[in-house]
Structure 1
């Protein structure tokens, strides 16, 4: 699932939020650019530009962070002590959510997985496609503002390669498939820095291979190109990079060339997420629902793969509708996703999908949907129904703790919020350094509540 849309925050009638932020940013010495402010709060420079033009209103916790960075009093931004319109719960803690989370992780790494380490795969790919060492080395030296010392920008090399493509040699399809499966494993286990370094070589090799083939073999290679760009889109979305538009568009073009319905659905999903992130949730819902209909409706004949993708499209559409404030459509689409998943012959996960249709995954989406609808109380039951160890990957387990952190934050329960944030870090440290998670952490740090260990956690994850 993706980051919540902007939460309306009442401001004094005569306050121009964009102008205030722009003037205080320009008054900084040395002058702070939009890109630097964006990175400090976990967003891009173009996003800050849209805020300063009053095209976007940042979420409450991001406004708190901006106020702190630019030394603006909260009152000047019209901030209140709690996001308006959100319920405040003083219910005593239940045992299922008390204190720091107990992390129970199912074993997921076999001896073969351990042999297939990121360095070995990186050497294999760079050697196979002849990618210059400067690309890999350059990506590992790019440290963004707000990141912990030594942390790597996971999309630096990928963004550079999108506009300066590497020259690659074709590869046998079976070797290309192995590299793609390994890259997918990196995403599922939240090894984003390694994935960002490997993807440029993988994409270059996949495109070179496709361009050398014809007929059915070319179609297979086109699917691999599409799925490599889908992974790139998933990564750029997590990093709040504007490159998500580019990777998603290329994924859909390649998927259509391949002609397989399931990859087309996967690519449409990541393109819709980019649409939603740019403030077009209604357009995203339309794309997702139309694509889902093309993959088989009620009573239609569909394969397990198309039903799985259809479920993920409907879940993403439900969340997008929630971001748009359309409660009825959001809940109806989530119900339709449950119905589609019920038609699956089994829940085995043998495909290249990054999102499955399991009951735990669907419950996790419900938590995010209710967060986006500003009805976090309704998400508690879904959160409690999920056992993190039943989620199949580190990325999904971290997502569980991220969404429950947002839920407790909206319910004005900072200690449970922090407990969930610790769960994010324990499951997947790189997830804890994502821009949106850092913004949530920063909002706790700058609140009036003092929580033991929070400041150290915030420093460790680059939130302050």
Structure 2
């Protein structure tokens, strides 16, 4: 009863963020609506904040939102973000001292999730949400939150064709975080990984290799048993470094060098559905660049099986289209294209 009341309080003015059961999720066909559409409302006509929600309660609602992201339930995430963020902003505007800093941190993390969602949907709203995430994070004074916000801003910069600036921002922030304790250093490791992939997308091979080495070294320096739950997306582990190696080598045009890393990662051992789907996405791109269309389709089918909303993202639909319209289409790709909305 207490949890039910918390969720009702937290989102009285918006759609609920309650996590659906596994059976409900499995039986529901993903909606054709873009889950990032709700961000327009968030930015330009925010809903009224839910009254009666304390900061600790709002922290629990944020944890539910993060669980939606980790499980690749993007429609549920998008439905709840406006209420979550507007309530956090209301606390920020009416608080002072440490309570205000906490509200800034909750606001920033809400906007981090909004940017993650916008980036996955290739929405230009990511620029606005990333900027708000960074501004709120800096006001919070929490180095971990600042690192999270900078990471999503850098991803937005890379997607907008500014990879060099993004790499510079990530490197500077990672260095700054190194002196703020183990949790901040774990975030710094994730920034090195993101910087390596960003450099690879700009065809900077030597820079990408150096940054990957820095990420691996940063992970090695972390104390054993460090809780990873403060990070939204990327755990500071060697498995995550290996996952980034797949993307880096593929982006650099050397997918053959990515194959050993793809094969040695057990996707089921990755910590979240979103990360498992990322393995499937990166290996699909790797096999496509190697000309193995059957393995590409198998990887895409893996993504669809564990995270249907991931398989319907623009990037994966483009890869499915590439398979569909190849000179010799792979058996089964047409059915897959219908299933994932590429063919209607």
TM-score calculated relative to the size of structure 1? 0.68
In terms of mean alpha carbon deviation, does 263-272 or 452-461 score higher? 452-461
1:156-171 matches, cutoff 5 A: 156-169=37-50, 171=53
Q: 1:381 to 1:222 in 2, by over 3 A?
A: same
Residue of structure 2 in register with 1:310 after alignment: 188
Deviations 1:115-146 (A, max 9, x none): 979xx98755331xx34x7x99xxxxxxxxxx
Residue of structure 1 in register with 2:24 after alignment: none
1:250-399 matches, cutoff 5 A: 250-296=132-178, 301-346=179-224, 347-399=226-278
5+ residue gaps, structure 2, are: 18-28
Name the Cα RMSD after superposition: 2.1
SS at match of 2:76: helix
Structure 2 distance, partners of 1:288, 1:320, is 10
Structure 1 distance, partners of 2:127, 2:332, is 38
Contact 1:184 1:354 in 2 (8 A): no
Structure 2 distance, partners of 1:343, 1:149, is 41
Q: CA deviation at 1:250?
A: 0.1
Q: CA deviation at 1:353?
A: 2.7
Structure 2 distance, partners of 1:294, 1:387, is 33
Residue of structure 2 in register with 1:204 after alignment: 86
Structure 1 distance, partners of 2:127, 2:59, is 25
1:20-419 matches, cutoff 5 A: 123-127=8-12, 130-131=13-14, 150-169=31-50, 171-296=53-178, 301-346=179-224, 347-419=226-298
Contact 2:246 2:286 in 1 (8 A): yes
Q: 1:292 to 1:442 in 2, by over 3 A?
A: same
Q: 1:215 to 1:121 in 2, by over 3 A?
A: closer
Q: CA deviation at 1:289?
A: 0.5
SS at match of 2:87: helix
Residue of structure 1 in register with 2:22 after alignment: none
Contact 1:226 1:250 in 2 (8 A): yes
Residue of structure 2 in register with 1:436 after alignment: 315
Structure 2 distance, partners of 1:255, 1:228, is 10
Q: 1:126 to 1:339 in 2, by over 3 A?
A: same
Q: 1:459 to 1:116 in 2, by over 3 A?
A: farther
Structure 2 distance, partners of 1:320, 1:286, is 10
Structure 2 distance, partners of 1:444, 1:360, is 29
Contact 1:223 1:254 in 2 (8 A): yes
TM-score calculated relative to the size of structure 2? 0.91
Structure 1 distance, partners of 2:30, 2:170, is 39
Structure 2 distance, partners of 1:150, 1:395, is 18
5+ residue gaps, structure 1, are: 1-111, 137-147
Find runs of 4+ consecutive structure 1 residues off by over 6 angstroms.
none
SS at match of 1:285: helix
Matched residue pairs, number?
330
Structure 1 distance, partners of 2:237, 2:109, is 21
In terms of mean alpha carbon deviation, does 174-183 or 449-458 score higher? 449-458
Structure 2 distance, partners of 1:285, 1:439, is 26
SS at match of 1:155: helix
Deviations 1:352-409 (A, max 9, x none): 4321111211100000011111111111111111001110110000000000000000
Q: 1:116 to 1:441 in 2, by over 3 A?
A: farther
Larger proportion of helix: 2
Q: 1:448 to 1:183 in 2, by over 3 A?
A: same
Larger Rg, first or second structure (1 or 2): 1
Structure 1 distance, partners of 2:6, 2:74, is 14
Q: CA deviation at 1:167?
A: 1.9
Structure 2 distance, partners of 1:149, 1:227, is 26
